[in-house]
Structure 1
């Protein structure tokens, strides 16, 4: 292989890798993500959401206010007091100027646990041992 061919192949590989990184970065920042946890309350940390949006945790028996997303695209949420047990929780965000028609779920609905045994139940669930956790 000649030096010119080797140089062209190297440039093509570097260019392809650059495209993969650019597409990956665009994809990674294109959709917001959420980290939801149980415990004494249900907490969530949203990142990558549009600044100015409002978000809240929704689940049966939880009626929390909307919280604004900061300029860095993050918001920390806390449900406040909730009944002890398993909850199907999700985070919903919306544009407050548009209202309910702009509402969208961030991530997906998750089972979270509250109360004294919440850390143990979340450990079991994280390790795919949900069958050992209480149903309701």
Structure 2
């Protein structure tokens, strides 16, 4: 194999690897995620959302204000005072320039617990013993 052929094969291999990395990076752009917790209040940490969008916590009887997403794609949410017990909570985000048509749920709806026994109930749920947690709403 001549030196010119070897160089062309090397360039082609490097080019192919570059294309694989570029395609991988484009397809690896993760969807936004959220980490929701109970306790005294319902809190959520959103990451990977588009800067400039707004997010809030939504649950039965819980309506929090929209909070803007920071330039790094994160926003920290807190419900403030809520009734004690189990809540089916989710985080929704929207593009404020578009409005209601752009509202989307980040992650999925989760059972969270508030009140004195919230840490114990979340422990049971985390260890798949949720049948021991109260079902009242």
Provide the TM-score with structure 2 as the length reference.
Answer: 0.82
- Aligned-pair distance for 1:22? 5.9
What is the aligned residue count? 126
- Aligned-pair distance for 1:132? 0.6
Q: Structure 2 vs 1, CA of residues 84 and 27 (structure 1 numbering), >3 Å: closer, same or farther?
A: farther
Partner SS, residue 80 of structure 1? coil
Is this contact kept in 2: 1:29–1:48, CA < 8 A? no
C-alpha deviations, 1:40-66, integer Å up to 9, x for none? Answer: 000000000000000000001111110
C-alpha deviations, 1:49-94, integer Å up to 9, x for none? Answer: 0000000000011111100000000000000000000000000000
User: Which ranges in structure 2 are unaligned for 5 or more consecutive residues?
Assistant: 1-5
C-alpha deviations, 1:98-123, integer Å up to 9, x for none? Answer: 11110000000000000000000001
Equivalents in 2 of 1:76, 1:64: separation in Å?
Answer: 12
Counterpart for residue 47 of structure 1: 47
Partner SS, residue 45 of structure 2? strand
Provide the TM-score with structure 1 as the length reference.
Answer: 0.83
Highest CA radius of gyration, 1 or 2? Answer: 2
Equivalents in 1 of 2:114, 2:43: separation in Å?
Answer: 10
Q: Structure 2 vs 1, CA of residues 110 and 50 (structure 1 numbering), >3 Å: closer, same or farther?
A: same
Partner SS, residue 111 of structure 1? strand
- RMSD, aligned α-carbons: 2.3
Q: Structure 2 vs 1, CA of residues 35 and 28 (structure 1 numbering), >3 Å: closer, same or farther?
A: farther
Counterpart for residue 75 of structure 1: 75
Equivalents in 2 of 1:129, 1:111: separation in Å?
Answer: 13
Q: Structure 2 vs 1, CA of residues 131 and 26 (structure 1 numbering), >3 Å: closer, same or farther?
A: farther
User: Which ranges in structure 1 are unaligned for 5 or more consecutive residues?
Assistant: none
